[in-house]
């Protein structure tokens, strides 16, 4: 029977005797979770950063065109390098800085060429980039508090974020939610619930993809997703495409992909030396 940690199967050995063999199931990779308030407090800084990341990410998407969304949030890897140096004292090579230069130039070209440029939307995108970078840095720093287990960290982070989001929802969206309860139909609330479930599953799939492949593969697929998303935005939403706007998107995606290849190659060099 399945027990969440693995299944027991009976097989016969060479002498014809049956013996139990543990067969790992999909759910065996998830640890048994228990909420320890002392651990939760240690994870709280990451949770605050996570809430800021989600908040500014959604505000950016609300205030800018979908086609410009990836450009507005393109400075994530730039802040990641800068903050990693300031917080973790992690240096960067000239090749890495060159790739970041492509991204920064693409950001400014894309911003200047955006037909419906939004200052507050772009500002929200920059703030989202800062919080995304801090999220990855603090994830590395706080993993030791959960025995280096990403699933336990995800559990504590999501529980903390749930508590932190509640007062924000009440203060900023409470009236709108109460007004919408009697007027919005079942289809609306079903879609909202489905979006929440999908967001949760995306977090799980992201961890699984990185574990099954590599961070580089994950980021390549993310870059491909961004390219498709920008293209669909022009087609579905009818966003106005300008020469500078398209060039900015191409430079941002190309610079991001170059950065990932450079970092992966640099990570492999010590292994080659050995």
Tokens 């977090």 belong to which residue? 203
How far apart, in whole angstroms, are the C-alpha atoms of residue 241 and residue 78? 26
Selection from 218, 201, 209, 207 nearest residue 149 by Cα: 207
How far apart, in whole angstroms, are the C-alpha atoms of residue 188 and residue 194? 10
Is residue 25 over pLDDT 70?
no
Could you give phi then psi for residue 118, rounded to 5 degrees?
-120, 120
Q: Residue 268 burial (CB < 10 Å; 0-12/13-18/19+)?
A: exposed
- Compute the mean pLDDT over every residue in the chain, rounded to the nearest whole number: 82
Greater confidence, 21 or 181? 181
Residue 78 contacts residue 129 (beta carbons within 8 Å): yes
What tens digit of pLDDT does each residue of 197-229 get? 888 888 778 777 766 766 656 666 777 788 888
pLDDT score, position 273: 47
Tokens 């509640």 belong to which residue? 166
What tens digit of pLDDT does each residue of 135-167 get? 888 988 898 999 888 889 889 999 999 999 999
**Tokens (6 digits) for 108:** 């400014």
Non-local (6+) Cβ contacts of 207 within 8 A are 150, 151, 154
């Amino acid at each position: 029977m399945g027990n969440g940690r693995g299944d027991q199967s009976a097989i016969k050995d060479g002498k014809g005797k049956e013996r139990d063999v543990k067969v790992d199931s999909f759910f065996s990779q998830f640890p048994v979770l228990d909420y320890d308030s002392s651990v939760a407090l240690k994870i709280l800084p990451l949770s605050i950063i996570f809430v800021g990341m989600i908040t500014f990410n959604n505000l950016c998407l609300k205030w800018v065109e979908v086609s410009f969304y990836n450009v507005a949030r393109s400075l994530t890897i730039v802040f990641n390098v800068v903050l990693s140096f300031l917080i973790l004292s992690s240096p960067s090579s000239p090749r890495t800085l060159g790739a970041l230069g492509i991204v920064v130039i693409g950001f400014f070209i894309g911003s200047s060429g955006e037909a419906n440029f939004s200052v507050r939307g772009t500002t929200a995108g920059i703030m989202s980039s800062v919080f995304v970078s801090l999220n990855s840095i603090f994830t590395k720093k706080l993993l030791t508090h959960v025995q280096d287990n990403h699933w336990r960290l995800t559990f504590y982070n999501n529980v903390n974020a749930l508590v932190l989001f509640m007062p924000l929802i009440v203060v900023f969206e409470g009236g709108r939610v109460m007004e919408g309860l009697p007027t919005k139909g079942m289809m609306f609330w079903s879609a909202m619930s489905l979006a929440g479930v999908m967001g949760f599953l995306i977090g799980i799939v992201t961890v699984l993809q990185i574990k099954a492949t590599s961070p580089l593969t994950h980021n390549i697929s993310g870059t491909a997703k961004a390219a498709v998303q920008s293209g669909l935005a022009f087609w579905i939403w009818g966003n106005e495409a300008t020469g500078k706007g398209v060039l900015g998107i191409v430079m941002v995606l190309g610079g991001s992909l170059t950065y990932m290849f450079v970092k992966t190659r640099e990570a492999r060099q010590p292994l080659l030396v050995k």
